[in-house]
Amino acid sequence: METKLVKINNRVGLHARPAASFVKLARNFESEIILKKDSKEANGKSIIGIMALGAQSGNEIEVCATGDDAKEAIEQLSEFLENLDD
C-alpha cells in the first residue's frame, strides 16, 4: 500500500466539481483508492464518498492506493489535490 498526506490548499475545499475531477482521474488506475480524513474513509472512485468527507481548506487528507499502479496513482492524485483551483 502506498500512502501520502496531502493538505487541501484551495479556499473552497474538495467540493462537487473537484471531487468529480478526482474520481475521473482515479478511475484511470486499477488500484483501489481510499481517501481518509480524521476517522472517515471514502472510496476514491466515488463522488458521494469523497463529498461525505467534508474536506475543507486547510484539512489534511491521506491518499491511499493498493495495487500494481499504486505508486503512480498516489503521485498523480496527490498532485491533483495539492494544485486544486477554486
Give the per-residue pLDDT at 80.
96
Domain definitions of the chain by residue range:
2-82
pTM score? 0.94
- For every one of its 86 residues, what pLDDT tens digit does the chain have, with 9 covering 90 and above? 999 999 999 898 999 999 999 999 999 999 999 999 999 999 999 999 999 999 999 999 999 999 999 999 999 999 999 998 76
Confirm if 25 and 63 have CB atoms less than 8 A apart: no
- The residues that are catalytic are 15
Give the per-residue pLDDT at 86.
66
CATH architecture of 2-82: 2-Layer Sandwich (3.30)
